[in-house]
Amino acid sequence: MILARRLFLPAFIVFMCCFSNAYAQNTNSEPCSYYGENLSHEIKMYPASEHAKKVINGIISVIGLRPNFEIREANVPNAAAVVLNSKRFILYNAEFMDDINTASGTYWAGISILAHEIGHHLNGHTLDKKGSRPDTELEADEFSGFVLNKMGASLEESQAAMAVAASQRASHTHPAKADRLRSIAAGWTTANGQSATVRNEPSKQNLDRPVLVRREVETPVISGRNIAFDVEFASDDTGIYYITDKGELLNIEDGSAYHIGSLSESNRRGYKLMLSDKNYNYLYIATGGRIENGAGRRVGTIRKHEN
């Protein structure tokens, strides 16, 4: 029986539903907002999604620093770095993130925005209580370009959010689009020139191949009792793929099981679940067990495993 998105899915699946109440705080500093909008005096915050936390951890891991902030979903226009009651936060609007990813055609767009806001905190921009300024915005843009290169994004992917939505003209808080694109490119080029940088080929959102058969960890062969779903991919119809009761996407080959991705909550409206890997490639689980790529094209099927 093909599984749709139903409530009897195994308990390891975490849905993007926050049952805790929102909590509001008053700003005690001028925020650094991505496009320079004024934030409301009272900011309502919600727990961040597991996907957002994963992205933040990925950004932090490539720069080797411990985070000096917390991540929250909030009622902000897009994203912002703020200090609330003496605590540092990265705030993001989930609907905006979804829209910017869709408009740009790549999920690196949302990642670059979060990296930009992290750059404000790590560069101390939120401590002077002056808010967004052209010079600090360019520093944060350069930081985002550097980080996205380290994470494996192409230059085009690193600039995707700015290319879609930035203003052509400068304001008293933010530089013009051309200057911001140059700063992102400067950061990306700096990272690309370092010998420690590992470059990946630019990722494509319209993937027809399985979630990224980049084999990360070889694991012992699993037993039938640990298999939750059978997975088929159109581009590899002879391959054997399973999802375990822990949400691991495995490829079975030559008597060994290889971990290539994970099942988790979706980062896109219209889907509750997705498959993802550590290189931020995504496939989505649609009604009827269809596996779809970012363009909505069917690339595979997921079914409940029959023992």
Nearest to residue 121, comparing CAs of 97, 88, 77?
88
- pLDDT tens-digit profile of 258-267? 888 889 888 7
Domain 31-192, classified CATH 2.70.98, yes or no: no
pLDDT of residue 182 exceeding 50, the answer is: yes
- pLDDT at 84 exceeding the cut of 60: yes
User: d(Cα 81, Cα 117) in Å, to the nearest integer?
Assistant: 5
Percent of residues, the chain, with pLDDT higher than 70: 75
Give the pLDDT band of residue 222 (cuts 50, 70, 90): low
The domain segmentation of the chain, as residue ranges, is 31-192, 217-304
DSSP string, 66-95: --SSEEEEES-SSEEEEEETTEEEEEE-HH
d(CA 156, CA 158): 5
The model carries a pTM of 0.67
Q: What is the pLDDT of residue 206?
A: 36
Q: List, for residues 31-82, the tens digit of each pLDDT value.
A: 676 766 666 568 899 999 888 888 898 898 888 878 889 999 999 989 999 8
